[in-house]
């Protein structure tokens, strides 16, 4: 029944399907289980088969006890397989571990070095904190064993013990230092590792270890100058792995200690100048040495030498070597910026590497290397690089460029130029607050309005389907469109050009045609057209036609604007000029504070640079007010009220820009679970924060605006298939804060409604008084009404509009019916 | 330190695993699954380091086998590559031009060799020759023990005839 290991492996490998393999394994498992029961002498062979199954991922827990039995056996082959099985099939969390502690202890004292060795190996692999405490004394005794094979293993077991129970460190210091004078390389490297762990866990041990610095330097020097020994030679370098370990220990000893740093600096320089970097072992030594130099109190010369080593790494053909060099340079960039700057051109080359992880690291480094002096050249190079970069890198790259531009911008002209180029190239990756920032800066720089709009106009011809770029271009053309035509504010660097009004409109049409899906672009376009209608006198008709086209848009927002705007152009040309006037300069300080708030809220994985207010030297205060309308609310349509509490940064996309044009693409009806009056009240306050502007009925507000009287149209506050509630408004002439609402209830269904009752909730700035209703029974089919009077006092009249949530309860056929609605469409001015 | 060593074939079959940090059996399966997905799909021209769950995984492909070792982020990646190479050279010397099949049929031998190269996640021997020596010595011990056992059973068999 039982077969040899080799046969078993062959059989498993011959299986063609997973099911077949499972069957073979199941059969063999069963056989092994029975074999284990009758104390078969082939136990170790069976165990090896189990290990093979385990490697394939099959359950083998029933073999664990067998391992324990084998370990307790006498012969070397049994022990060896027992320990191997134990290490493979168990992890150090299992309780079975307790059972072998004693066997391991006995094997430590075996006369055979290999049995001691295999026991030490199992100990190192599986030792738990408990086991470490139990056997620490035995293991440290083995550090003085006559056989180096045992000594080196014991030293590494001590490493494990100290990692598990750091308290043992103190007692291990002396033996560890003694081992440092061992001639056997295996023992030496293990001893150094033990010293490293001791230094890392305990600072007093580190102090005592410092006395060994010169000793270690001596060992390293001997390695460098020793004659050729084939056993330790590795492509012409004498025992590179040992050298690396010594350098690592020296790093700990020299850190924050001038004396020991001084002792080791000669040998470090020697390593850096004499090691051949062409092969991996040499580079590994150099890399370790550079790390040591960077961490100790090295002289400036030594540091420059180290950075130059990394510079050489960058031009190496091996990806791995370039990778570590970049990684290291990013870490030490603060240490010696000047020395690293010298290698900037090579770093830029690494950006073009085929390997993404190298590119990313190079980018990090380039970003870290940006200073005020090199920012212009650097940004130019990065922008060029952006055009050809792959998509996976673009996002990171765009954010970095954006951050560099914002951080180091020395003039507004440079800032605007570069931001616009960046957005035209990769606008989708530019954060919305950066876009908003750009708009704020543009609007605050009257001297550059003309230049900016002409630059955008020229670039929009080569538009690369970046929505945010189109939005900024359209916005600027809308605001500063006349400067395209009349050459206002022309700078010396510009080529004079002649653009006609019709050409501008052609361009806008072109963008609209290219971006069929984007609602944002459409909405921005409509606003721009309205603005241009008052500035381009020769094309009023054409603009009117363009707006008319959108009257049949299937998107509500677009259609509504088109209808409103064409009404403004047709019927209200007297106020058109005022409505379409340029917006006042956006307030930078408000924006800055908003950005600071956002930065706190958005403390994500990306590092935010602390940003001082941009261009504070020529900060423009006192925005010019251009609105002359008496009713503040009616400006809402084109309002740019940035003092709203809406935090655009919490929303993705173009919420900032949408803010600018007060565009509300969210649906106006909101349903939130009704939990109680106080909750409603809270909701209201929150709602009013994020949603202070209201959408009006199409032309309603315009009518109102021209009427200028205290008459208000009635609204439908609630309409369901059962109930309808109408609100009529009146205002006492002496106090504008008070609004009387006359509510009328209608029953549209064919069932009788009884016990009708209204509840209403308002935000805190409103005071509400409910008069008793005229009755509580509503006849079916709208045969009869109930009226009720509500008195609302708006303590923030003129600042905040009215809003209310109402709930109507009634009984129909003995069943209670609840209807509720949020009333937001109050006429302006109430 | 090295947290684990995994050998996977190009088809994603595990050929050797060694864990120096505590991972439960379940976690081990997960690690292997994740890493083979990550490493086997990497292009040939990319660098041999992968950042993974706060650790660095250094891998190198020899013929159809990927040798992966995971190290701490502050460790020397090039050194780890050298350790992998060191291990491969020792395997090569022992098996004589080692191939994947050698490691499948003699997986326990591969473990024995690894245990002579690494201990507790640290390198213990930089000399290939001395590793070869102790492995050979142990092999002889096993052979002797076997012979002895065989002769013993022979004696018993003859005695009971």
DSSP string, A262-320: HHHHHHHHHHHHHS-TTSHHHHHHHHHHHHHHHHBT--HHHHHHHHHHHHHHHT-S-HH
Segment A237-266, tens digit of pLDDT: 888 888 898 899 888 888 888 888 888 888
CA–CA distance, A469 with A460 (Å, rounded to integer)? 8
CA distance, residue A661 to nearest chain B CA (Å): 44
- Residues of chain A with pLDDT > 90, as a percent, come to 1
Q: Which residue of B has its CA nearest to A289?
A: B76
A284 neighbourhood in chain B, CB within 8 Å = 76, 78-79, 81-82
User: Cβ distance A771 to A810 under 8 Å?
Assistant: no
What token pair was written down for A40?
A: 């078969």
Q: State residue B58's pLDDT score.
A: 93
What mean pLDDT comes out for the span A147-173?
Answer: 88
CA–CA distance, A653 with A430 (Å, rounded to integer)? 10
CA–CA distance, B149 with A157 (Å, rounded to integer)? 33
Side-chain-facing half-sphere of A667: CA atoms under 13 Å = 4
Residue A663 reports pLDDT greater than 70: no
Q: Do B85 and A280 touch (CB under 8 A)?
A: yes
Comparing CA positions, the residue from B20, B119, B109 lying closest to residue A91 is: B20
Strands B14-19, B2-9: pairing is: antiparallel
A280 neighbourhood in chain B, CB within 8 Å = 78, 81-82, 85
Q: Do A240 and B105 touch (CB under 8 A)?
A: no
Side-chain-facing half-sphere of A181: CA atoms under 13 Å = 8
Mutation target vs A (from B46, B78, B152; most A CBs, 10 A cutoff): B78
**C-alpha angle A780-A783-A785 in degrees, rounded to nearest 5:** 100
Segment A347-392, tens digit of pLDDT: 888 887 777 788 888 888 888 888 777 888 888 888 888 887 777 7
Residue A731 reports pLDDT greater than 70: yes
Q: State residue B70's pLDDT score.
A: 93
Q: Which of the two residues, B73 and A518, has the higher pLDDT score?
A: B73
**Three-class secondary structure of residue B40 per DSSP:** helix
User: Cβ distance A109 to A78 under 8 Å?
Assistant: no
What lies within 8 Å, CB to CB, of A596 at 6+ separation is none
Strands B49-52, B14-19: pairing is: unpaired
Q: Of A283-292, A562-571, A727-736, B20-29, which one has max mean pLDDT? A: A283-292
A351: how many CB neighbours lie within 10 A of its CB? 20
Q: At A411, phi and psi to the nearest 5? A: -135, 155
> Using CB atoms, which residue from A55, A80, A354 is nearest to B107?
A55
Confidence of residue B7 (pLDDT cuts 50, 70, 90): very high
Comparing CA positions, the residue from B98, B101, B138 lying closest to residue B116 is: B138
What does CATH list as the number for B2-160? Answer: 3.30.450.60
What mean pLDDT comes out for the span B85-110?
Answer: 90
Q: State residue A450's pLDDT score.
A: 81
What mean pLDDT comes out for the span A406-421?
Answer: 82
User: Cβ distance A392 to A429 under 8 Å?
Assistant: no
CA distance, residue A204 to nearest chain B CA (Å): 23
Q: Which of the two residues, A34 and A120, has the higher pLDDT score?
A: A120
Q: Please state, rounded to an integer, the average pLDDT across all residues of chain A.
A: 76
What token pair was written down for A819?
A: 């209807």
CA distance, residue A167 to nearest chain B CA (Å): 19
For domain A91-201, say whether CATH 3.50.50.60 is its number: no
Is the CB of B139 inside 8 Å of chain A's CB atoms?
A: no
Residue A286 reports pLDDT greater than 80: yes
Comparing CA positions, the residue from A295, A285, A223 lying closest to residue A260 is: A295
List, as ranges, residues 10-49 from B with C-beta within 8 Å of A.
Answer: 14-17, 19-20, 22-25, 28-29, 45-49
**Residue carrying structure tokens 């994985």:** A605
CA–CA distance, A114 with A80 (Å, rounded to integer)? 9
What token pair was written down for B152?
A: 């013993």
List, as ranges, residues 69-128 from B with C-beta within 8 Å of A.
Answer: 76-79, 81-83, 85-86, 104-105, 107-108, 111-112, 115, 119-120, 122-128
Q: Do A241 and B79 touch (CB under 8 A)?
A: yes
Chain centre to alpha carbon of residue B99: 13
**Three-class secondary structure of residue A747 per DSSP:** strand
Residue A596 reports pLDDT greater than 70: no
- Residues of chain A with pLDDT > 70, as a percent, come to 83
User: Cβ distance A153 to A138 under 8 Å?
Assistant: no
CA distance, residue B160 to nearest chain A CA (Å): 18
B25 neighbourhood in chain A, CB within 8 Å = 91
CA–CA distance, A64 with A47 (Å, rounded to integer)? 9
What mean pLDDT comes out for the span A435-441?
Answer: 83
CA–CA distance, A585 with A439 (Å, rounded to integer)? 10
Q: Do A241 and B82 touch (CB under 8 A)?
A: yes
**Three-class secondary structure of residue B126 per DSSP:** coil
Confidence of residue B80 (pLDDT cuts 50, 70, 90): very high
What mean pLDDT comes out for the span A452-468?
Answer: 80
Q: Which of the two residues, A816 and B123, has the higher pLDDT score?
A: B123
For domain A700-823, say whether CATH 2.60.40.1230 is its number: yes
Confidence of residue A91 (pLDDT cuts 50, 70, 90): low
Q: State residue A397's pLDDT score.
A: 83
Helices A169-179 and A185-201: crossing angle in degrees, nearest 10, is 150
Q: Which residue of B has its CA nearest to A5?
A: B105
Torsion, Cα of A761, A762, A764, A769 (10° steps): -80
Tally C-beta pairs within 8 A across A and B.
156
Q: State residue A666's pLDDT score.
A: 42
What lies within 8 Å, CB to CB, of B39 at 6+ separation is B8, B50, B57, B59, B66, B68
Q: Which residue of A has its CA nearest to B24?
A: A91
What lies within 8 Å, CB to CB, of A537 at 6+ separation is none
Segment A733-746, tens digit of pLDDT: 777 788 888 888 88
- Paired residues of A808 in beta bridges: A758, A819
Mutation target vs A (from B79, B83, B84; most A CBs, 10 A cutoff): B79
User: Cβ distance A516 to A554 under 8 Å?
Assistant: no
What mean pLDDT comes out for the span A289-294?
Answer: 89
Least confident of A312-321, A385-394, A647-656, B33-42: A647-656
Q: At B121, phi and psi to the nearest 5? A: 80, 15
Which pairs from A613-622 meet CB under 8 Å and 24+ separation?
A: A613/A588, A613/A589, A614/A406, A614/A409, A614/A415, A614/A437, A614/A441, A614/A588, A615/A409, A615/A412, A615/A415, A615/A441, A618/A412, A619/A588, A620/A444, A620/A445, A620/A585, A620/A588, A621/A589
Kindly report, as residue ranges, where domains of CATH 2.60.40.1230 are found in chain A.
700-823
Confidence of residue A604 (pLDDT cuts 50, 70, 90): very low
> Using CB atoms, which residue from A77, A245, A284 is nearest to B145?
A77
CA distance, residue B72 to nearest chain A CA (Å): 14
What is the DSSP-derived secondary structure letter of residue A651? S
Mutation target vs B (from A46, A147, A160, A223; most B CBs, 10 A cutoff): A160
CA–CA distance, A426 with A408 (Å, rounded to integer)? 20
Burial string for A659-682 (b: 16+ CB within 10 Å, else e) reads bbbbbeeeeeeeeeeeeeeeebbe
Q: State residue B87's pLDDT score.
A: 92
**Three-class secondary structure of residue A625 per DSSP:** coil
Q: State residue B88's pLDDT score.
A: 93
What mean pLDDT comes out for the span B123-146?
Answer: 88
Q: Do B78 and A152 touch (CB under 8 A)?
A: no
Q: Which residue of B has its CA nearest to A55?
A: B14
Q: State residue A40's pLDDT score.
A: 64
Segment A32-83, tens digit of pLDDT: 888 888 766 677 788 888 888 888 888 888 888 888 888 888 888 888 888 8
Residue A686 reports pLDDT greater than 70: no
Q: State residue B161's pLDDT score.
A: 64
Segment B98-109, tens digit of pLDDT: 888 888 888 889
Q: State residue B85's pLDDT score.
A: 92
Segment A755-774, tens digit of pLDDT: 888 888 888 888 888 888 88
What mean pLDDT comes out for the span A510-539?
Answer: 81
Residue B112 reports pLDDT greater than 60: yes
Residue A497 reports pLDDT greater than 80: no
Work out the widest C-alpha separation in chain B, in whole angstroms: 68
The CATH number of domain A392-665, selected from 1.25.10.10, 3.30.420.40, 1.10.1060.10, 3.40.50.1400: 1.25.10.10
Q: Do A159 and B120 touch (CB under 8 A)?
A: yes
Chain centre to alpha carbon of residue A104: 50
Segment A688-711, tens digit of pLDDT: 343 333 333 444 444 444 444 456
Mutation target vs B (from A80, A233, A238, A324; most B CBs, 10 A cutoff): A80
Task: Give the Å distances, CA to CA, from A609 to A300, A364, A368, A394.
Answer: 29, 14, 12, 20
**Residue carrying structure tokens 């050998």:** B7
Confidence of residue A3 (pLDDT cuts 50, 70, 90): low
CA distance, residue B152 to nearest chain A CA (Å): 13
Q: Do B145 and A156 touch (CB under 8 A)?
A: no
What mean pLDDT comes out for the span A640-667?
Answer: 40
Q: State residue A683's pLDDT score.
A: 42
Chain centre to alpha carbon of residue A176: 46
Helices A240-254 and B77-95: crossing angle in degrees, nearest 10, is 150
Q: Do A91 and B23 touch (CB under 8 A)?
A: yes
Residue A641 reports pLDDT greater than 60: no
CA–CA distance, A265 with A398 (Å, rounded to integer)? 42
Residue A619 reports pLDDT greater than 70: no
> Using CB atoms, which residue from A149, A280, A321 is nearest to B134?
A149
Q: Do A153 and B15 touch (CB under 8 A)?
A: no
**C-alpha angle A394-A397-A399 in degrees, rounded to nearest 5:** 110
Segment A189-211, tens digit of pLDDT: 999 999 998 888 888 888 888 88
Q: Do A125 and B120 touch (CB under 8 A)?
A: yes
Residue A607 reports pLDDT greater than 90: no
Helices B77-95 and B107-117: crossing angle in degrees, nearest 10, is 130
Task: List % helix, strand, coil for chain B (3-state, nearest 5).
Answer: 55, 25, 25
Q: State residue A94's pLDDT score.
A: 65
B127 neighbourhood in chain A, CB within 8 Å = 185-186, 231-232
Least confident of A268-282, A434-448, A646-660: A646-660
What mean pLDDT comes out for the span B112-129?
Answer: 90
Which pairs from A620-624 meet CB under 8 Å and 24+ separation?
A: A620/A444, A620/A445, A620/A585, A620/A588, A621/A589, A623/A584, A623/A585, A623/A586, A623/A587, A624/A584, A624/A585
Chain centre to alpha carbon of residue A131: 43
CA distance, residue B143 to nearest chain A CA (Å): 9
User: Cβ distance A609 to A404 under 8 Å?
Assistant: no
């Amino acid at each position: 029944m039982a077969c040899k290991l080799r046969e078993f492996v062959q059989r498993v490998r011959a299986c063609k399907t997973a099911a077949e393999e499972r069957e073979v394994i199941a059969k063999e498992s069963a056989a092994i289980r029975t074999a284990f029961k009758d104390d078969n002498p082939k136990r170790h062979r069976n165990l090896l088969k189990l290990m093979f199954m385990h490697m394939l991922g099959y359950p083998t827990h029933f073999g664990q006890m067998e391992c324990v039995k084998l370990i307790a056996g006498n012969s070397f082959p049994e022990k060896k397989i027992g320990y191997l099985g134990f290490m493979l099939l168990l992890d150090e969390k299992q309780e079975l571990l307790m059972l072998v502690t004693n066997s391991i202890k006995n094997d430590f004292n075996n006369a055979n070095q290999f049995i001691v060795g295999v026991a030490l190996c199992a100990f190192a692999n599986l030792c738990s904190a408990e086991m470490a405490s139990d056997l620490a004394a035995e293991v440290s005794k083995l550090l003085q064993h006559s056989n180096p094979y045992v000594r080196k293993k014991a030293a590494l077991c001590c490493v494990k013990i100290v990692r598990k129970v750091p308290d043992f460190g103190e007692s291990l210091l002396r033996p560890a230092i003694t081992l440092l004078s061992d001639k056997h390389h295996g023992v030496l490297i293990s001893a150094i590792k033990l010293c490293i762990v001791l230094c890392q866990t305990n600072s007093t041990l580190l102090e005592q270890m410092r006395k060994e610095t010169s000793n270690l330097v001596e060992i390293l020097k001997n390695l460098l100058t020793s004659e050729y020994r084939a056993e330790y030679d590795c492509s012409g370098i004498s025992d590179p792995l040992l050298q690396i370990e010594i350098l690592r220990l020296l790093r700990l000893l020299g850190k924050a200690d001038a004396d020991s740093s001084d002792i080791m600096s000669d040998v470090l320089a020697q390593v850096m100048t004499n090691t051949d970097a062409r092969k991996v072992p040499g580079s590994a030594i150099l890399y370790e040495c550079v790390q040591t130099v960077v961490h100790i109190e090295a002289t400036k010369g030594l540091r420059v030498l180290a950075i130059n080593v990394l510079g050489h790494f960058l031009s190496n053909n091996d990806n791995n070597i370039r990778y570590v060099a970049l990684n290291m340079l990013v870490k030490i960039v603060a240490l010696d910026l000047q020395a690293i700057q010298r290698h900037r051109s090579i770093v830029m080359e690494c950006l073009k590497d085929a390997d993404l992880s190298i590119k990313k690291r190079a980018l990090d480094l380039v970003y870290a290397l940006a200073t005020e002096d090199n920012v212009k050249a650097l940004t130019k190079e990065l922008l060029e690089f952006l055009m050809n970069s792959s998509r996976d890198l673009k996002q990171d790259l765009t954010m970095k460029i954006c951050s560099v531009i914002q951080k180091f911008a020395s003039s507004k002209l440079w800032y605007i130029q570069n931001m616009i180029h960046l957005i035209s190239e990769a606008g989708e990756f530019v954060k919305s607050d950066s876009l908003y920032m750009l708009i704020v800066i543009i609007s605050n720089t009257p001297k550059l309005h003309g230049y900016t709009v002409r630059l955008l106009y020229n670039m929009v011809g080569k538009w690369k389907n970046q929505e945010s770029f189109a939005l900024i271009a359209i916005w600027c053309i809308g605001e500063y469109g006349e400067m395209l035509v009349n050459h206002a504010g022309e700078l010396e660097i510009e080529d004079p050009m002649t653009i006609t009004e019709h050409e501008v409109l052609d361009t806008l049409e072109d963008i609209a045609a290219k971006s069929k899906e984007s609602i944002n672009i459409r909405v921005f376009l409509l606003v721009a057209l309205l603005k241009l209608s008052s500035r381009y006198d020769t094309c009023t008709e054409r603009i009117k036609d363009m707006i008319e086209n959108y009257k049949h848009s299937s998107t509500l927002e677009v259609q509504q604007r088109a209808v409103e705007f064409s009404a403004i152009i047709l019927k209200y040309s007297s106020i058109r000029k005022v409505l379409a006037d340029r917006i006042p300069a956006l307030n930078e300080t408000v924006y800055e504070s908003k950005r600071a708030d956002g930065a706190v809220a958005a403390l994500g994985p990306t590092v935010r640079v602390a940003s001082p207010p941009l261009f504070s030297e020529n900060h423009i205060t006192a925005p010019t007010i251009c609105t002359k309308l008496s009713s503040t609310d009616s400006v809402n349509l084109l309002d740019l009220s940035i003092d709203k509490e809406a935090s655009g940064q919490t929303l993705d996309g173009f919420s900032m820009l949408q803010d600018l044009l007060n565009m509300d693409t969210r649906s106006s009806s909101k349903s939130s679970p009704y939990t109680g009056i106080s909750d409603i009240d809270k909701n209201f306050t929150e709602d009013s924060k994020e949603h202070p502007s209201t959408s009006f009925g199409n032309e309603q507000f315009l009518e109102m605006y021209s009427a200028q009287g205290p008459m208000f149209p009635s609204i439908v506050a609630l309409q369901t298939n059962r109930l309808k509630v109408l609100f009529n408004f009146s205002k006492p002439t002496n106090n504008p804060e008070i609004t009387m609402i006359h509510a009328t209830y209608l029953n549209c269904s064919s069932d009788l409604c009884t016990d009708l009752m209204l509840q209403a909730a308002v935000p805190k700035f409103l005071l509400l008084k409910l008069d008793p209703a005229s009755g509580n029974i509503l006849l079916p089919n709208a045969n009869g009404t109930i009226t009720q009077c509500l008195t609302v006092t708006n303590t923030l009249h003129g600042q905040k509009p009215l809003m209310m949530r109402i709930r109507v309860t009634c009984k129909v056929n003995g069943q209670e019916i609840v209807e509720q609605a949020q009333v937001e469409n109050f006429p302006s001015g109430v | 330190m090295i947290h684990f060593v995994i050998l996977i074939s190009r088809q994603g079959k595990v050929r050797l695993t060694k864990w120096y940090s505590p991972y439960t059996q379940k976690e081990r399966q997960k690690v292997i699954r994740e890493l083979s997905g990550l490493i086997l799909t990497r292009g040939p021209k990319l660098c041999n380091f992968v950042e993974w769950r706060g650790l660095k995984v250094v891998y190198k492909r020899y013929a159809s086998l990927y040798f992966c070792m995971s190290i701490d982020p502050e460790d020397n990646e090039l050194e780890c590559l050298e350790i992998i190479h060191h291990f491969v050279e020792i395997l090569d010397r022992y098996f004589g031009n080692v191939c994947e099949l050698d490691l499948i049929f003699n997986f326990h031998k591969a473990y024995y060799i690894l245990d002579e190269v690494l201990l507790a996640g640290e390198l213990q021997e930089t000399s290939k020759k001395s590793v070869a020596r102790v492995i050979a010595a142990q092999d002889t011990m096993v052979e002797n023990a076997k012979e002895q056992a065989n002769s013993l059973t022979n004696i018993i068999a003859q005695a009971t005839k």
